Structure 1
Amino acid sequence: MSAQPAAVPAPRYRHGLVIGKFYPPHAGHLSLIRQALACCERVTVEVLASSAESVSGELRADWLRVCLPSARVVTGVDDEPVDYASPTAWQAHTAVMLSLLDPADGPVDAVATSDSYGAELASRLGASWLQVDPGRQALPVSGRRIRSDPARYWWALPAPVRAWFVRRVAVVGAESTGTTTLARALSDHYRLPQVPEFGRQWSRQRPGGLDAAWASVEFDLVARVQAQWEDEAAALTARPLLITDTDVLATSLWHERYMGSRSASVEALAASRRPDLYLLTGDEIPFVQDGLRDGEHIRHDMQESFRRTLAAGPVPWVELQGSHEERMAEAIALIDELAAEPRPMSPPLSEAHVGASTMSDGLRVGAEREKTAAGPHDDVLTDALEEC
């Protein structure tokens, strides 16, 4: 007789609550929510964003929904001052939390946190307190540390959050200006995943080949797939950097070249996903026919169109000329400078407006104990303020 699988124990609680800024979501947050899901029939995750923060609460909630679809993730604005010693502040924060709950889920009977404020919050909600990984011993990471150095804590970031932090460099240019050669070489230099040009692949496989007239809808397809390839690579890259061979803005210029005008839909997509730097490959080198190119006679006009468009836009750009080695050297210097600065995030409300002096004596003692256990480089006081 084959062995029977062990019965899965029933959840101990009906409705669990996890709160935080999730600024940004990281492995510690996901572990905390998974622990709550394991012992609660349903779990509400509340993203308590403030107007001082530069990443919207809804985007953070979307990231969590992708990572943990079985949790109910909601978001609200909480600009109340963080003061653990103030009953008024506690009441204000609790009111925001209660307003985000769905009455159909029933009252909260479990609150899951890592930090010591969970005891007070659970008491105010008439719930049990589930403390998970106190002092962050298992997963020594916090949103504050990630904001200051995302590359160091890259291991702790879920894929959609990684994609947001990635610094993106788009290599663009007219036909036969060395864009693909440079993009590939730079990706190899930084050991990054390749992001090829989908438009080139589509040119090979499109019905009718190069002789058939182009349709506007084809450029919508090219733009969407190019954006998808870029985002997939950004989620997989081993560091917060990505080099792309062309981008959606370039697709808009090719639409104008073939259709006589810009595409509103492609332009809108391009405006929603601007890179951090454009590298424009110069057109001073000879034209080389590869069997797909058909614009030698207008190559310099196309290059001028790129220059005008980039000059009118908000993204920094540099035109690279000279030999491949000279282009590489200049590009690497520019990218190294860009990659040295993490994507900026404004400080959360707690860091911007609250000092440790606002903490109650009881919470201070608990947090200092956690800080000692976690090590001299951890600032649990700040982390606790941030997550409440």
Structure 2
Amino acid sequence: MPRQGSGGVPGAAPDRRPEFGHGLVVGKFYPPHAGHHALITEAARRCAAVTVVVAPSRRESIPLPLRLEWLRELHATEPHVRFVGRYDDHPIDYTDPAVWEAHCAVFRAAIGDDRVDAVFSSEAYGAELARRFGAVDVCVDPSRVAVPVSGTAVRADPVQHWAMLGPPVRAWFVRRVVVVGAESTGTTTVARALAGHYRTRWVPEYGRELTAAKLARLRRTEPEATIFDVRWDRADFEAVVREQQAAEDAAARRSGPLLFCDTDARATAVWEERYLGSSSPRVRAAARRPDLYLLTDHRGVPFSDDGLRDGAHLRGWMTERFREVLADSGVPVIELTGPLPDRLGTAVRACDEVLAAGWSLADPISPRHST
């Protein structure tokens, strides 16, 4: 049975005195942005229950389940709002009653038998949609003054509208740049410097943290132990991949359009090969596809022994092994050579090209224009 005070709409908030019983919001949410959230929040404030129908066409680039996941996360504090997804591949023609009916049939199938009391929209079609549902038309910020953004604008230039995107949406759009290299070749220095240049985030190397922890544990029983006494097993490298990717994903939600990562699963596989003689299928299978690799050459970089490094004699081999592994990744690779300013200059130019390439999102179905 519906909860008391819900106006007969399942899922309604029980202790509110809303203006409307059941509100409807319809859109593609391609992608969800601050304007969408303001619209949904306004409907939630004024209705006992709200149904948001996410209705993209199949030609669009962002999967429907992902949009629903994002919206549910970003509106988790509004439990009387439900999100329902339906594909809608019908043409758009605001002058054709048959086309209107086709779209409304999709929306009705999503809503079910619940009566709609108000339709909330920022679009001109909201009035006709409300009329077809026998509902009140509630127009919210149609001129985009309160929240100056649109899905078209975001798709055209996500960087310009980055502040209008929620954390999970940013994580999907973010371009990931991975810096790899042999010991003491400046991967951390480069990653940190690039993050500062682009005013974004970088992800430190978890393997270094684990190395320090293993050495500290060993010294509890063997105070004279050094890095050469530390032992590794397969589980250690699986842990490095797991923790590194978790940290990367968390940072991506708070990052700017570029995220810099000091190592990844492919690099971890090379380290595993170095210490154990081979890399494991599980570590190799965890490899992702970043947007760019930056490989720091060992030549011209003095080896700095900080107590956690033991591979000065292997730096040449590791650089060459990284070249081989990255060549098979299908990801662009830029090698950084020379003094640090030269390396950073090369890296910045490569990262600028990544941003300039933009985001290739398929266009949604466009409205037909009457002649």
Count residues in correspondence: 343
For the pair 1:223 / 2:231, whether they are aligned, the reply is: no
Corresponding residue of 2:28:
21
Structure 2, gaps ≥5 residues long: 1-14, 220-226
Q: State how 1:230-379 maps to structure 2 within 5 Å.
A: 230-237=248-255, 239-271=256-288, 274-284=289-299, 285-350=301-366, 354-357=367-370
For the pair 1:148 / 2:159, whether they are aligned, the reply is: no
Question: How far apart, in 1, do the equivalents of 2:159 and 2:187 lie?
Answer: 27
Corresponding residue of 2:50:
43
**Structure 1 or 2: larger helix share?**
1
Q: Which moved more, 1:27-36 or 1:190-199?
A: 190-199
Q: Contact conserved, 2:273 with 2:279, CA < 8 A, in 1?
A: yes
**Partner AA of 2:93 in structure 1:** D
**Partner AA of 2:171 in structure 1:** A
Question: How far apart, in 1, do the equivalents of 2:48 and 2:277 lie?
Answer: 58
Q: Contact conserved, 2:93 with 2:368, CA < 8 A, in 1?
A: no
Q: State how 1:86-97 maps to structure 2 within 5 Å.
A: 86-97=96-107
Q: Contact conserved, 1:167 with 1:343, CA < 8 A, in 2?
A: no
Q: Contact conserved, 2:24 with 2:50, CA < 8 A, in 1?
A: yes
**Secondary structure of residue in 2 paired with 1:172:** strand
TM-score (norm 2): 0.85
**Secondary structure of residue in 1 paired with 2:178:** strand
For the pair 1:161 / 2:169, whether they are aligned, the reply is: yes
- In structure 2, do the counterparts of structure 1 residues 318 and 196 end up closer, same or farther at CA, with 3 Å as the change threshold? same
Corresponding residue of 1:386:
none
The two structures, once aligned, show a CA RMSD in angstroms of: 2.2
Corresponding residue of 2:65:
58
* Match of residue 118, structure 1, among 126, 147, 150: 126
Deviations 1:305-330 (A, max 9, x none): 21112111121111111111211111
Q: Contact conserved, 1:115 with 1:135, CA < 8 A, in 2?
A: no
Corresponding residue of 1:133:
141
Q: Contact conserved, 1:165 with 1:342, CA < 8 A, in 2?
A: no
Q: Contact conserved, 1:11 with 1:38, CA < 8 A, in 2?
A: yes
* Match of residue 196, structure 2, among 180, 188, 191: 188
**Partner AA of 1:72 in structure 2:** R
TM-score (norm 1): 0.82
Deviations 1:51-93 (A, max 9, x none): 2111111111111111112332222221111111112211221
Question: How far apart, in 2, do the equivalents of 1:119 and 1:23 lie?
Answer: 22
Deviations 1:71-122 (A, max 9, x none): 322222211111111122112212222222355xx33332211112112212
Q: Contact conserved, 2:180 with 2:263, CA < 8 A, in 1?
A: yes
**Partner AA of 2:103 in structure 1:** H
Q: Contact conserved, 2:58 with 2:89, CA < 8 A, in 1?
A: yes
Q: Which moved more, 1:307-316 or 1:261-270?
A: 261-270
Question: How far apart, in 1, do the equivalents of 2:103 and 2:218 lie?
Answer: 62
Greater RCO structure (CA 8 Å; 6+ sep): 1
**Secondary structure of residue in 2 paired with 1:194:** strand
